[in-house]
Amino acid sequence: MDGLQTELGRGGEAVGQVQRQGAARGRWLRPQARRGAILEACLALEARPGSSYLRRLGESWSLPCYATSTPLPPSPASTCDATGSKNQGYQVAGFVWWQGHKDQNPAHASVYEKNLVRLIKALREEFKAPDAPFVLATIAFEGWKLSGPGLQVANAQLAVSGEKGKYPEFKGNVKTVEARDFWRDASVSPSKQGYHYNHNAETYMLVGEALGRAMVELLEQKKQ
């Protein structure tokens, strides 16, 4: 998956921030293989006490054990260490994906859709969660002015959405949200780093809310 591999190994500072914030809440995911990780790709885990060894696209992740007053059923990936209780793992509730900046070139954009389909299937297989909902947002650099390979990536992201019908197996369990409406210009943002959406908090909040609503929608459909 050449196009997706381009995004690996980025953003070590953010990893540390995620670790610090998560540790304060008693649980976090920690990349072991190297300081960088896939930050634009987020795994939505239904938090379960215990330690798990998660292997994903060449990265090693561990979910440390922590104290709990409510023991939970064991999961297939439960491998708690000596500091915590055994037979307590995690349950994958769904996957959230927002990525694509480094794929805005003809070579990567041309295979992005194919790679994305493979990624969705590979994650579900890897985490033994064949029915886990998968939600993603389009890239949105420069909003509706997005063009060229970037537009090709956004169209590929829209193409896998279940309601489009192109991939029948994704109906009701994969959903893409359109994020270009959420772009905010540098003139009303803290920075001029377009590849980081100008660090605009409103953009981040709106995309996050849209992804959350999409996930809730799929989870509700799953119950029916």
Locate the domains of the chain by residue range. Answer: 1-37+48-89, 40-46+92-224
Query: Along the 224 residues of the chain, how does pLDDT read in single tens digits?
Result: 333 333 333 333 333 333 333 333 333 333 332 332 333 333 333 333 333 333 333 333 333 333 333 344 444 444 444 444 555 667 888 999 999 999 999 999 999 999 999 999 999 998 899 989 999 999 999 999 999 999 999 999 999 999 999 999 999 999 999 999 999 999 999 999 999 999 999 999 999 999 999 999 999 998 88
DSSP structure string for 151-201? HHHHHHHHHTSGGG-SSGGGTTTEEEE--GGG---GGGSS---GGGGGG-H
pTM comes to 0.66
The CATH architecture assigned to 40-46+92-224 reads 3-Layer(aba) Sandwich (3.40)
| Bridge partner list, 78 | 52
What is the pLDDT, as a whole number, of residue 68?
36
